Amino acid sequence: MNTSEIGRHVMVGFAGTQVSDELRYALVELGAGGVILFTRNYEEPAQLRELAAEMRELSVHDRLWIGVDQEGGTVQRFRAPFTVWPDMASFAEAAPGLSSEALKDPKRREQATADVRKFARFLADELRAVDVDWNFAPVADLNTNPDSPVIGRRAFHEDPDYVAAFVAAFIQSTQSQGMLACAKHFPGHGATTEDSHTALPILDIGEDVLNKRELAPFRAAAEAGVASIMTAHVLYPALDEVLPATLSPRVIPRLLRPMPYEGVVVSDDFEMAAIAEGYDLGE
Active site residues: 197, 268
Q: Which of 151, 267, 134, 170 is nearest to 214 (CA)?
A: 151
The per-residue DSSP string of 26-57 comes to HHHTS---EEEE-GGG-S-HHHHHHHHHHHHH
CA distance 227 to 138: 12
3-state secondary structure at position 122: helix
Radius of gyration of the chain (CA): 18
The 10 Å Cβ neighbour count of residue 155 is: 29
Say which DSSP state 213 is in.
I
